[in-house]
Amino acid sequence: MTTVSRRTALAGGVALAACGPTSVVAPRVKVPGASFGVSPFSFGVASGDPLSDAVVLWTALELDEGRAGEDVSVGYEVAADAFFDRILRSGVTTARVDAGHTVKVDVTGLPAATTLHYRFVVPGQTSPIGKTKTLPAPGATPEQFRFGIGSCQDFRDGLFTAHRHAAAENFDAFFFLGDFIYEKNTAGVRQHDTPEPLDLAGYRARYRQYRRDADLQASLASCPWVMTWDDHEVVNDYGGLETPAGVVAGFSERRAAAYRVYSEWTPIRAAPADDSSLLLYRAFTVGQLLDVTVLDTRQYRSRLVCGGRSGPACADRGRDDDSILGVAQREWLFERLRASTASWNVMAQQVVFSDFDIANGAFLNHDQWDGYPAERNRVLDVLDALPSRHTVLLTGDIHLGALSRVLRKGTSRASAVEIVTNSISSGGSKGSGNGAVIEGLVGSVPGFLYAYEGARGYTACTVTAQAWQVDYRTVDQIDSAGGALSTHASFEVQRELLVRRR
């Protein structure tokens, strides 16, 4: 186990207002409206969905009762330096009441592969400073791309210390693979401060609590995020319009509210497709190095196989028409994979793709791709037909770090490699207590090379045209402040999908 020194961890620290440059140029953008005596930027800032010439900037305002019913003008500035001497883009937008006073601006016309700094402005107050970065130009050949992967941050299970360390990594991007919030209210290290969300007001309140967390704010302000959701942004283990309890009265309205609030409170370019859905699957190109597809394995499920439960296979598992992606998303994915000329294909998604069959069918997690074997085989058919095998899946959901070579049942040649990232906090400091069982996956489940759930953390990746460096970062405790970071395991994934431990 390699320990990451505090000096190294802090070397790439984010330039927030509290610890950033002390001689920042005053805002030049002119914003109309009454002056604020107290800063309304208590939710911090964020950026996301970077392109080679654009990035989405985000903030939200916390207003007192006297202004809570008003739309508020908000300025923004994007600069080539941390002191805002060289402002590249600026403008004025509106924090609207009907969007919960959130602000999203898709800033275009930016230079490729460039580190940028941004801030928001209201009369009399300026937000913390965020750092973001555009992607390389489509035809460029970047030497490397560094990014983090995280998922599953249950506020109740502990502090978001992993995010504080991730913020210091100086990543080019951070992929967050779902469970940004949790909906249930039970006792824990920390408490949710509002009832379980069921409507717009409830979900907005839950996001407001999470977005006040200083460690999460640091991570969101340190680099652009690329996000997708999983189940807890709505309710545990749902799929499509079905819950584990079946089709429940009022669930479609609840899901629509959750989707709308997710769109408001995250720095994604996707907007509601209509009043009840959100077109979340999308793609990003990192020069000639990475062709990234971001998937949605929740919204379009044809049904919950075996009720989404874990356990033995049920009688109706394995129907050919069962889908975890839906027809439109699946065909879009296949078209992207077949057309890619990048060094690596990347599928960023939520639930474990690899065959996770423990004890020959005696235990399956039907909420994962194991519940949809025909769909998984359709994806494998496409991956196996590509001119060269160079696909890596990024996965969250199960609160452990794992690495597997994705094998078709009964074969030993990998179709892809799957990197499963640990949880930020979900599962608590020491995990479920099933460490021996989890680590026993290696050697007992074909393809699995690493599995560990004894500490919370995230995954750091450095990608070149020939190989991935994969570092599983863990934090020794999250019950109180000051958890120390270490690297629990490191691997190199080579272009031919061979893997070696470092």
Closest CA to 462 of 341, 340, 289: 289
| Residue type at 183 in one-letter notation | E
Domain membership of residue 330 (yes or no) is yes
pLDDT computed for residue 414 by the predictor:
95
Domain membership of residue 8 (yes or no) is no
pLDDT digits (tens, 9 = 90+) for 284-306: 999 999 999 999 999 999 999 99
pLDDT computed for residue 20 by the predictor:
55
Domain membership of residue 7 (yes or no) is no
DSSP 469: E
Judged against a pLDDT cut of 90, whether residue 216 lies above it is answered with: yes
405 and 283 share one domain: yes
Two tokens, residue 191: 């408490």
DSSP 94: E
Residues 6+ apart with CB under 8 A from 365: 310, 352, 356, 371, 398
Domain membership of residue 490 (yes or no) is yes
pLDDT digits (tens, 9 = 90+) for 371-384: 999 999 999 999 99
Please give the Cα distance from 281 to 228 (Å, whole number). Answer: 8
pLDDT computed for residue 13 by the predictor:
37
pLDDT digits (tens, 9 = 90+) for 43-55: 999 999 999 999 9
pLDDT digits (tens, 9 = 90+) for 225-256: 999 999 999 999 999 999 998 889 999 999 99
- Mean pLDDT over residues 194-211, rounded? 98
Give the residue from 133, 164, 184 where a domain finishes: 133
Cα–Cα distances (Å) from 129 to 61, 165, 239, in that order, read 15, 18, 38
Judged against a pLDDT cut of 90, whether residue 270 lies above it is answered with: no
Contact predicate 64/36, CB 8 Å:
no
97 and 177 share one domain: no
| Residue type at 308 in one-letter notation | G
pLDDT computed for residue 490 by the predictor:
98
Please give the Cα distance from 434 to 454 (Å, whole number). Answer: 9
pLDDT digits (tens, 9 = 90+) for 397-417: 999 999 999 999 888 899 999
| Residue type at 129 in one-letter notation | I
pLDDT digits (tens, 9 = 90+) for 446-502: 999 999 999 999 999 999 999 999 999 999 999 999 999 999 999 999 989 999 999
396 and 300 share one domain: yes
61 and 183 share one domain: no
pLDDT computed for residue 23 by the predictor:
80
Domain membership of residue 121 (yes or no) is yes
Judged against a pLDDT cut of 80, whether residue 7 lies above it is answered with: no
What mean pLDDT value characterizes the chain? 93
Please count the structural domains in the chain: 2
Closest CA to 347 of 304, 300, 296, 397: 296
Domain that holds residue 349: 145-417+425-464+480-501
Reading across the β-sheet that carries 282-286, which strands appear in turn?
Answer: 282-286, 290-294, 344-348, 391-395, 414-420, 401-407, 448-452
pLDDT computed for residue 19 by the predictor:
47
Burial of 2 (0-12, 13-18, 19+ CB in 10 A): exposed
Closest CA to 459 of 473, 475, 477, 439: 473
270 and 410 share one domain: yes
pLDDT computed for residue 16 by the predictor:
44
pLDDT computed for residue 311 by the predictor:
81
Give the residue from 133, 162, 177 where a domain finishes: 133
Please indicate whether residue 186 or residue 1 has the higher confidence score (pLDDT): 186
96 and 157 share one domain: no
151 and 64 share one domain: no
Please give the Cα distance from 275 to 253 (Å, whole number). Answer: 10
pLDDT digits (tens, 9 = 90+) for 311-370: 888 888 889 999 999 999 999 999 999 999 999 999 999 999 999 877 666 678 899 999
Tokens 């080679």 correspond to: 52
Whole-prediction pTM: 0.95
Domain membership of residue 493 (yes or no) is yes
Residue 62 banded pLDDT, cuts 50, 70, 90? very high
314 and 348 share one domain: yes
User: Looking at residue 390, which CATH number applies to its domain?
Assistant: 3.60.21.70
Lowest mean pLDDT among 91-100, 278-287, 429-438, 469-478: 429-438
pLDDT digits (tens, 9 = 90+) for 152-166: 999 999 999 999 999
Closest CA to 230 of 162, 303, 155, 150: 150
Lowest mean pLDDT among 207-211, 273-277, 480-484: 273-277
Two tokens, residue 437: 């069982």
Tell me the β-bridge partners of 458. Answer: 473
Give the residue from 69, 101, 133 where a domain finishes: 133
112 and 193 share one domain: no
Domain membership of residue 126 (yes or no) is yes
Judged against a pLDDT cut of 80, whether residue 119 lies above it is answered with: yes
Contact predicate 54/140, CB 8 Å:
no
277 and 197 share one domain: yes
| Residue type at 155 in one-letter notation | F
117 and 199 share one domain: no
